[in-house]
Structure 1
Amino acid sequence: MNLLENLGIHQDLVTKDRVELSMPVQAKHLQPYGIVHGGINTVLAETAASLGANANVAPGRIAVGVNVTTQHLQAIREGVIFVVATPDHVGRTLQTWQARLLVNDRLTATATITLMNVPAPTNNHKH
């Protein structure tokens, strides 16, 4: 099971110009005070940006996150978190994306994600 499956993150839209994800809040997402752990906001933002960034890279290359800055604006206790990510810059080497996280149309967090376009790893591991 990968991280997206484990957390219950759904890919609603993935294009070069926009990514939309959703995640119903579950008990496993909460920290001890009953609110969604801030790391969940960052995972959602970086995941959305990474999916979009990888839709923009040339064959044989991948986009990997190199920096994420997340602003937690409103505590989340329940509901469905929606994420919308759009690119500010898509270059040959770097991409910068903005993510907005909402619950019931209320902005709960924002994030800026920088990704680097690098050669895809070769899978020559022996098992």
Structure 2
Amino acid sequence: MSTVDLSSSPAGQLTEKMGIEITSWDPEKLVGTMPVEGNRQPYGLLHGGASAVLAETLGSVAAAMHAAPERIALGLELACTHHRAGRSGLVTGVCQPLHRGKTTATFEIVISDEDGHRLCTAKLTCILRERPPGDPKS
């Protein structure tokens, strides 16, 4: 499986700026990576907000896959627990469903470093809404 092309979004979007790539996807597990370089806080460690962006990106894509084509997914709540610092290389997020219903979908996203150490555990809940009339993707 190749990477998901996030370039169909308008240029300069957050996923592009953060260097996020989705490397594997199916209904039970979605995987993506993000470099630590360029996503650090002033102490030289992976920024917690960058981990949150990776988590929300993966969870939102998974929710959109579940909701499509009739509905769209919108982030409702994101909670992140940061366990240890990322220092270099790539971090990998693994997103798995906790609940996939008609009106909400919840996913757990575990972010690890290249040595397999868990850096962050996140939970994202998305609300699923009908696609707006006239939406070009309907």
**Structure 2 length as normaliser, TM-score?**
0.83
* 2:77 counterpart (43, 67, 70): 67
Alpha carbons 1:12, 1:22 under 8 Å: kept: yes
* 1:93 counterpart (98, 103, 106): 103
RMSD, aligned CA: 1.4
CA distance in 2, matches of 1:14, 1:123: 28
* 2:29 counterpart (18, 24, 28): 18
For residues 48-91 of structure 1, the C-alpha deviation after alignment (integer angstroms, 9 at most, x for no partner) is: 11111111114231111100100000011112100000001100
For residues 84-121 of structure 1, the C-alpha deviation after alignment (integer angstroms, 9 at most, x for no partner) is: 00001100001110000000211111001111001223
What secondary structure does 1:101 align onto? strand
**Structure 1 length as normaliser, TM-score?**
0.90
After TM superposition, the structure 1 stretch with the greater mean CA deviation from structure 2, 74-83 or 57-66, is 57-66
What secondary structure does 2:86 align onto? coil
Give the paired residue count.
Answer: 123
| Aligned CA distance change for structure 1 residues 121 and 6 (closer, same or farther; 3 Å) | farther
Q: Which has the higher contact order (CA 8 A, sep 6+)?
A: 1
What secondary structure does 1:77 align onto? coil
Alpha carbons 1:98, 1:112 under 8 Å: kept: yes
* 1:108 counterpart (115, 119, 133): 119
Structure 2 gaps of 5+ residues are: 1-11
Name the aligned partner's letter for residue 32 of structure 2: L
Name the aligned partner's letter for residue 116 of structure 1: I
Partner of 2:43: 33
After TM superposition, the structure 1 stretch with the greater mean CA deviation from structure 2, 113-122 or 79-88, is 113-122
Partner of 2:9: none
CA distance in 2, matches of 1:45, 1:76: 15
Partner of 2:6: none
Identity of aligned residues (%): 33
Alpha carbons 1:70, 1:109 under 8 Å: kept: yes
Deviation at 1:3, TM superposition (A): 1.2
Name the aligned partner's letter for residue 108 of structure 1: L
Deviation at 1:23, TM superposition (A): 1.2
